[in-house]
Amino acid sequence: MHRIIIDGDPGHDDILAFLTALAHPEEIEILAYSTVVGNATVENCSRNALKVQDYFGVAIPVAQGYEQPLTRELHLAYQFHGKTGLDGAPFLKESQRRVEKKHAVEYLKDVLLSSEEKIEIVSMGPLTNIAMLIKTYPEVIAKIERLIMMGGCFSLGNALPKSEFNIYHDPEAARIVFDSPLKIAMAGIEACFAGAILLKDIEALQAKGKGTRLLKSILDFYSQYAYKNNWDRIPIFDVTPIMYLLKPEIFRVEQYHVEVEIKGEVTLGMTVCDERGPVYLPEVINPREVLLDCDREEFSKAFFDSFRILDERYEL
């Protein structure tokens, strides 16, 4: 059983990742959902996290975190997610629930320190909250089993040629995280593209219950970018770390020491995976799990099946 905290910036793919996890309560228990600025303002991210939960009648605590990166200017991803961060699902109603009174860093610190067992953190947005959590309260590190993140890349970027959005958005935060003793698994761009969903499968999707209804609306909006670029598939980035929890056997993973570039002009936010190996890096004792590839068909099947499971549990 994976007991997890989700930290992210929902966001279409963030929400689909949350729902993929929600479909498997026998394997994943979601203890808290913290939000951070990224795809949209942090207020809108929190609003989205709450309204999706209302739609399914679940009530996992949502704690709101940082509204700015540590030092950089904001770059919201309106072009992919619209102004609200979750455009395209007008039937989702504003929630009457509120975010937790405590800031996400305080809230997560309390959840971690009061837990007898270690907890995994699944990060799906910029690492601002996580960096400040471990910097302010280093005692939580002993309570974190592992940080599994959607972020970074081995080589292929999206924000810049070799930098991925979540890391590029707050590279100083990512540097703090990668310089820490945390155990880290990095689901970067390569693994996300390897698990991309075919547009023909999205077109064939029929809404049969609450799960597939929301899935179809979100994907119809989110996949517009792929149509514009003549792609035949679209990566649902943030689902990848959740899929890694559910089906680790479908991924190809290699171990690397990873450093985050915070000064480069064309490489800002690059996650530099050191390929030189132990001869050059004798003192590296905490290499990261870097996800490089996965079985697309297995990924796609498990992804769509998750929404059929939600359909059975939550009728229209």
Residues that bind Ca ion (CB under 5 A): 8-9, 11, 14, 124-125, 238
The entry of ligand BDR, Ca ion, none near residue 120 (CB within 5 to 8 angstroms by kind) is: none
| Distance of alpha carbon 71 from alpha carbon 49, whole angstroms | 26
Spatial neighbors of 127 by CB under 8 A, at least 6 apart, are: 149, 151, 166, 167, 170, 173, 174, 176, 177
State which residue, 165 or 311, has the beta carbon closest to Ca ion.
Answer: 165
Least Å from the CB of residue 125 to Ca ion: 4
Q: Counting contacts by CB under 6 A, is residue 17 touching ligand BDR?
A: no
Interaction between residue 190 and ligand BDR (CB under 6 A): no
Selected from 18, 33, 237, 244, the binder of ligand BDR by CB under 6 A is 237
Peptide bond into 11 cis (omega under 30): yes
* Stretch touching ligand BDR by CB under 6 A, among 111-119, 137-145, 157-165, 202-210: 157-165
Instruction: Give dist(CA 308, CA 99) in Å, integer.
Output: 29
Position 154 contacts ligand BDR (CB under 6 A):
no
Q: Which two tokens stand for residue 62?
A: 């949502």
The one among 95, 158, 163, 212 contacting ligand BDR by CB under 6 A: 158
DSSP state of 163: B
Q: Are 137 and 39 in contact (CB under 8 A)?
A: no
Q: Does 33 bind ligand BDR (CB under 6 A)?
A: no
Q: State how far the Cα of 81 lies from the Cα of 39, in Å rounded to an integer.
A: 7
Task: By CB under 6 A, tell whether 14 contacts ligand BDR.
Answer: yes
State the nearest-atom distance from the C-beta of 39 to ligand BDR, in Å: 5
Residue whose tokens read 């979540």:
166
Q: Which of residues 98-127 bind ligand BDR (CB under 6 A)?
A: 124-125
User: How far, in whole angstroms, is CA 208 from its chain's centroid?
Assistant: 26
Helix (H) or strand (E) holding 172, with range, is: helix 171-178
Q: Which is nearer to ligand BDR, 143 or 244 (CB)?
A: 244
Please answer whether residues 60 and 194 qualify as being in contact, where contact means their C-beta atoms are separated by less than 8 angstroms: no
State the Cα–Cα distance between residues 184 and 123, nearest whole angstrom. 10
User: CB of 10: closest distance to ligand BDR in angstroms?
Assistant: 8
> How far apart are alpha carbons 9 and 125 in whole angstroms?
5
Contact yes or no for 94/49 (Cβ under 8 A): no
Contact call for residue 129 and ligand BDR (CB under 6 A)? no
Cα gap 262→257, rounded to integer Å: 16
Stretch that binds ligand BDR, among 49-57, 61-69, 162-170, 294-302 (CB under 6 A): 162-170
Q: Does 11 bind ligand BDR (CB under 6 A)?
A: yes
Nearer to ligand BDR, 18 or 237 (CB): 237
Q: Which of 23, 49, 140, 150 binds ligand BDR (CB under 6 A)?
A: 150
Let me know if 107 is exposed, middle or buried by CB neighbors in 10 A (0-12, 13-18, 19+): buried
The yes or no reply on residue 95 touching ligand BDR (CB under 6 A) is no
Q: With CB under 6 A, what is the number of residues at the site for ligand BDR?
A: 15
* Contact residues for ligand BDR, defined by CB under 6 A: 11, 13-14, 39, 77, 80, 124-125, 150, 158, 164-166, 237-238
